[in-house]
Amino acid sequence: MKRVITISREFGSGGRDIGKRTAEKLGFAFYDKDIIKLAAQESGLAADYLTQADENISGGSSLHFTIGDMFSYGSYSPETMPMPDQIHVLLSRVINDIANRESCVIVGRSSNYILRNRDDCLHVFVHAPKEAKLRRIIDDFGVPEKNAEKELERTERARASYYRHYSGLNWGLAKNFHISLDSGLFGLEACADIITRLAQTI
Amino acid sequence: MKRVITISREFGSGGRDIGKRTAEKLGFAFYDKDIIKLAAQESGLAADYLTQADENISGGSSLHFTIGDMFSYGSYSPETMPMPDQIHVLLSRVINDIANRESCVIVGRSSNYILRNRDDCLHVFVHAPKEAKLRRIIDDFGVPEKNAEKELERTERARASYYRHYSGLNWGLAKNFHISLDSGLFGLEACADIITRLAQTI
């Protein structure tokens, strides 16, 4: 049976790595931000917009009603919206297409919210203590130690803001996911094992 | 090695049941609200106060600094505080005593916050979709169907308020727990299995 696993994650929590390991264990396709962008480009939907895509959406009012309605009724045109919103709508379409097509692991892009009404999804949130996230940002992402804390705060703020902007929900609430894991305590491999086992049994 | 598992849970999510099953699987002692009260009474600390104990703390400012300081410096006297706060302080002492003494599962009473600085704890949060919680409140707790929704909202508000009052933290944030689980998707037995396995491996 087809299964779609979405992974939302705090910056530096290792969530992307956990997603990749999970996909390998299950033999599922793996999609992160870059591959989703690529898929959108290849679909011909969004090549003009995606070069400037990022998650640095500044505040503003929530769009979750208009985006929901858009897909249901086709009554809004992406071209009349600000560029970040156009990008999000196009990526949402690509994420829905991917989820319709194959068993996969999708990391980021509010994919748990975009796919919230499907019943073949396992929605995962990965977080970690601050020290573990700083360590990963410095060691694995190559951020200079003196900038790490500021970079962590900036990215977490941007991610929470992006999520709230497009979903209308607060970032990091357990109830918006089927399982949330502290990768700092369990480690990346054990987290991937837990998710893999759950995906096989539900 | 001694292990302490704390379980915080949404009303009607089956978290208490999951805690009980987990304790049985692991051969650990099990403490919920009533047993903690009993322990406090037996210790002779709080018999006068505990008859009126409940979680219906109304708003008010956060107490987490004074409670933290109290245990560190002994500079506050429980007798000068409002009764719900006295009860909470005494229960906190009992919970700390229990955690020092034996491997156990402790349900409720902000025990994840009270024991947050220990390194032998696994902190769990259990939640469920609203429909599943209503079903359990009606079928298992015997709340009349027509009152169930109101009772759910009232208890969730009270629980969030209690938690915020004593911890200074928002209720239901994934990052305040090592693992959060949707009991509606996985079922009680599977949740207990997941927690049991994790408690054995960390």
With CB atoms and an 8 Å threshold, state whether B186 touches A174. Answer: no
What residue segments make up the domains of chain A, in order of their start?
Answer: 4-201
- The pTM score is 0.85
CA distance B63 to A52: 46
Contact A138, A145 (CB under 8 A): yes
Q: Which amino acid is it at B190?
A: A
Q: What is the DSSP letter of A7?
A: E
Q: Which pLDDT score, from 0 to 100, does residue A152 have?
A: 96
Q: What are the structure tokens assigned to B156, written together?
A: 């969730």
Task: Give the pLDDT of residue B91.
Answer: 84
pLDDT tens digits along A155-188: 999 989 988 988 888 899 999 999 999 999 999 9
Nearest to B178 among A125, A175, A182 (CB): A182
CA–CA dist A107, A119 (Å, integer)? 18
Residue B134: CB atoms within 10 A of its CB come to 18
- To the question of domain B4-201 being in CATH 3.40.50.720, the answer is no
Question: Does the structure show a pLDDT above 90 at A120?
Answer: yes
Strand A4-9 to A121-127 pairing: parallel
Contact A179 B175 (CB under 8 A): no
The answer to whether B82 and B113 are in contact (CB under 8 A) is no
Are B29 and B129 spatial neighbours (Cβ–Cβ below 8 Å)? no
Nearest beta carbon to residue A181 from set B179, B182, B190 = B179
CA distance A22 to chain B (A): 17
Cβ contacts (< 8 Å) between B174 and chain A: which residues? 125, 127, 172-174, 177, 180
pLDDT in tens, B99-111: 999 999 999 988 9
- Cα separation, B42 vs B98, in Å, equals 13
Q: Please say whether the beta carbons of A19 and A136 come within 8 A.
A: no
Could you read off the pLDDT of A34-52 as tens digits, one per residue? 787 777 776 665 555 555 5
Query: Contacts of residue B173 in chain A, CB cutoff 8 Å?
Result: 172-174
- Among B72, B67, B124, B73, CA closest to B91: B67
- Asked if B47 and B41 touch (Cβ cutoff 8 Å), the reply is yes
B121 phi and psi angles, rounded to 5 deg: -110, 145
ipTM of the complex: 0.84
Q: How far apart are CA B166 and CA B198, in angstroms?
A: 28
The Cβ of residue B74 has, within 10 Å, a number of other Cβ atoms equal to: 8
Q: Which H helix or E strand runs over B71?
A: helix B64-73
Q: What is the mean pLDDT of residues B133-144?
A: 95
Chain A to chain B Cβ contacts (< 8 Å):
60
The chain A residue lying nearest B121, using CA atoms, is: A185
Chain A: residues touching B (Cβ < 8 Å): 10, 122, 125, 127, 172-175, 177-182, 185-186, 190, 194, 198, 201-202
> Measured between CA atoms, how close is B178 to chain A, in angstroms?
5
